[in-house]
A and B are shown apart, each in its own frame.
Chain A
């Protein structure tokens, strides 16, 4: 019951946060000097045509009224019309959203597989050369700019070796009958590999280092001694007893990191021309298409909030010491 109340409170807070994000963003875009129409429509248009367009996008009304209309539409799930695509933002965003989600989740799975395996191995080999080198590699990868790592991988595997495509999500000229068709074929996989690995490498440092220190804590516990005393082999103690307990803190940070990775997808998606939300926000900002930028930003904000919420709830289940207020 107490937990239910806690979750309810967190969801309530999440909505307030999102409401404030939407408000901040709405006004940020409208303080730009100059009217938005002149930004995206060629200057040859006459005054009448311009006025018509302003009316179509609702830009002729006072700011306060625009804001109220925007909020009303938002509740109905209408994010406005994109200037560049001349389509409702929702229509464009849907596909971008799925593309980003597929990339991020793939990257997270790879990152955590690497992190858990390498991290527990390094802890087991603590204070040896392998441990020192491994830790240093993890820190270096974490400090290297993700777009630079991406460019280098692209240079090696696509340009020099020619094994993988130079970017994008599908080869030109392909038609798909549905999502299943689109995501479960070799061509898509070949496009996915490099961006996913780039993103995974960058994200793998956190679980690696966390798993390592978590393992080091666990190894000191009494029940590990006991497991040895029972005559279990070292491998069995590590895999059956130590890793399981050490996983807890690593798993709880997964959700937070996934949210963070979605925000960071801006860079990876730009390097690999991956048509996701991150690249869309860069394009939208570049072309001053603010209904689009606002929509994508809101969606990224929602995803981060949801992931943070999941992390909190998960944590309250896993660690009974967390006070629920």
Chain B
């Protein structure tokens, strides 16, 4: 723990990433309190006219959309989807990928061969087109987007975890555990798993970044949940209304937010990378 804090102190990028991430989590948790309007509500002026494409003002911090909706509230509520999709997909992917890597590496033989062949095949899948088709078939919505991301991305971590397990299983402490008569499962999860944990944490943060990117891409293509606001969906509405070139307050915030959150994922990944591999100093 002390070591982790020290690494965090020396790793500026990691600290910045962590701060950005925590800020967004905070906004997501208190979204209902922070948002000033219902994000889907159409705003009317005193003369009962729709407030179309109004530039930022005190009333509407980030202006309004073509449909007269408040951009700031949409941004705040949209952060919930981004954080939710990012965190859930990351945990699922790391869990599945780590376990498959551990099992393939530890048991070896035919189990390893079959699992790694499946990974090879998964690498032949065009990521975005496949996710798109899966979501279209299963039905647009956040749950199916997460499912599509998890089905495809577990391949990334399992290969690396497998090769780490391979080198760990011949080390003396594992041999010692075997001699004491510990069961395979016990060795795998008590002795080996803690050692691959930092590496799977690298994948937790990078998967979070790519999941957020994928969610916003699929939502941008119009396959997001039509009942929920997400950053990708804001951009989709902005693009399809063709009014985007007139309203910088509508097009800039979602893109900047996505970029920041995705970047924070990669930055936090650097910290775990350093913990996993202490020789790797920041160049």
Q: Which residue of the partner chain, among A14, A28, A126, A143, contacts B262 with CB atoms under 8 Å?
A: A143
Q: Mark A281-319, 1 if CB is under 8 A from B, else 0.
A: 110011000000100110011001100100000000000
A267 contacts B128, C-beta separation under 8 Å: yes
Q: Which of the residues A126, A143, A152, A282 comes within 8 Å of B251, measured between beta carbons? A: A152
Number of interchain pairs (Cβ within 8 Å):
116
Contact-size category for A: 35 or more
Q: Is A80 an interface residue, CB under 8 A from the partner?
A: no
> Given the complex of chains A and B, what is the CA–CA distance between A192 and B263 in angstroms?
29
**A32 CB contacts on chain B under 8 angstroms:** 137
B124 touches A140 (CB 8 A): no
Of A13, A213, A267, A286, the residue contacting B222 (CB under 8 A) is A286
B209 vs chain A, min Cβ distance (A): 7
Which of A16-24, A70-78, A221-229, A239-247 binds B? A16-24
Task: Say yes or no: A144 contacts B251, CB within 8 Å.
Answer: no
Task: Find out whether the CB atom of A13 lies under 8 angstroms from the CB atom of B220.
Answer: no
User: Is A266 within 8 A of B128, CB to CB?
Assistant: yes
What residues of chain A lie closer than 8 Å to B266, measured between beta carbons? 139, 143
Q: Decide yes or no whether B22 CB sits under 8 A from chain A.
A: no
Q: How many residues of B contact A (CB 8 A)?
A: 38
CB closest chain-A residue, reference B263? A143
The answer, yes or no, to whether B182 is at the interface (CB within 8 Å) is no
Question: A147 and B217: CB pair below 8 A?
Answer: yes
Contacts of A308 in B (CB 8 A): 123-124
> How many angstroms from the CA of A151 to the CA of B244 in the assembled complex?
8
Interface of A is mostly: helix
Closest to B217 in A: A267
Please tell me if A271 contacts chain B, counting CB pairs below 8 Å. yes
Q: 1/0 per residue B168-180: CB within 8 Å of A? A: 0000000000000
A159 interface residue (CB < 8 Å to B): yes
A264 partner residues in chain B, CB cutoff 8 A: 128
**Cβ of B258: which chain A residues have Cβ within 8 Å of it?**
144-145, 148
Q: Which of B125, B216, B220, B223 has the most CB of A within 10 A?
A: B125
Output the least CB separation between A8 and chain B (Å): 16
Q: Indicate whether A235 reaches chain B with its CB closer than 8 angstroms.
A: no
**Chain B residue with Cβ nearest A159:** B245
Which residues of chain A from 164 to 220 have any CB-CB distance to chain B below 8 Å in the complex? 213, 216
A304 near B235 with CB under 8 A, answer: no
Known A-B contacts A139-B266, A144-B258, A267-B220; A285 and B132 likewise in contact (beta carbons under 8 Å): yes
Pick the contact of B125: A13, A21, A126, A140 (CB < 8 A): A21
Interface string of B213-248 (1 = CB under 8 A from A): 100110011110000000010010011000011000
Known: A21-B125, A301-B125. A143 touches B209 (CB 8 A): yes
B residues in contact with A263, CB < 8 Å = 126-129
Is the C-beta of A58 less than 8 angstroms from some C-beta in chain B?
Answer: no
Residue among A148, A262, A270, A304 making CB contact with B124, cutoff 8 Å:
A304
Q: Bound complex: CA of A116 vs CA of B26, how far in Å? A: 40
- Nearest to A32 among chain B residues (CB) is B137
* B233 to A: closest C-beta gap in Å: 12
Q: Are A266 and B255 in contact, CB atoms less than 8 angstroms apart?
A: no
Nearest CB in chain A: distance from B86 CB, A: 13
Interface residues of A (CB under 8 A from B): 13-14, 16-18, 20-21, 25, 28-29, 31-32, 126, 139-140, 143-145, 147-149, 151-152, 154-155, 159-160, 213, 216, 260, 262-264, 266-267, 270-271, 278, 281-282, 285-286, 293, 296-297, 300-301, 304-305, 308
Which residues in B have some Cβ–Cβ distance to A below 8 Å?
120-121, 123-130, 132-134, 136-137, 209, 213, 216-217, 220-223, 232, 235, 238-239, 244-245, 251, 254-255, 258-259, 262-263, 266, 283
Q: Which 9 A-B pairs have the closest CB atoms?
A: A148-B255, A263-B126, A159-B245, A17-B124, A143-B263, A143-B262, A155-B245, A285-B136, A144-B259
